[in-house]
Amino acid sequence: MIRIIIERAINPEKVEEYHSLIRQAKNKASNVPGFLSGELFNVLGNSNQVVVMSCWDSLDAWEVWAESEQRLELLEAMRPFLESDEKITVLESTSLK
């Protein structure tokens, strides 16, 4: 299992428009085999800094979504609302020994 962390800086005047698109993205991602869950967080004290966390069965499942036409179209629609490029971090589940 992997977790994806996407950090985005949203134009404060465009937060509502961004939320509309991120809801669409979650709905579409949820139809991709291997998608387990997705959550949206705001950085405490900075509501235009958002963190999207999603959980996937595998890196392959995430990559199918990440490279999909649907996600790329949504990301292109989001670009006018972003103050900078998104930052993606991939976390891999490990077991403690």
Q: Give the CATH number, domain containing residue 63.
A: 3.30.70.100
**Listed residue (75, 81, 77) closest to 13, CA to CA:** 81
In 3D space, the residue among 96, 87, 95 whose CA is nearest the CA of residue 4 turns out to be 87
What residues make up the domain containing 59? 2-92
Compute the average pLDDT of residues 4-13: 96
In this predicted structure, what is the pLDDT of residue 2? Answer: 95
Q: What is the mean pLDDT of residues 22-29?
A: 92
CA–CA dist 33, 86 (Å, integer): 24
Residue 97 lies in a domain: no
Amino acid at 25: A
Residue 42 phi, psi (nearest 5) = -105, 145
Rg (CA), the chain: 14
| 87 falls within a domain | yes
Q: What is the pTM of this model?
A: 0.90
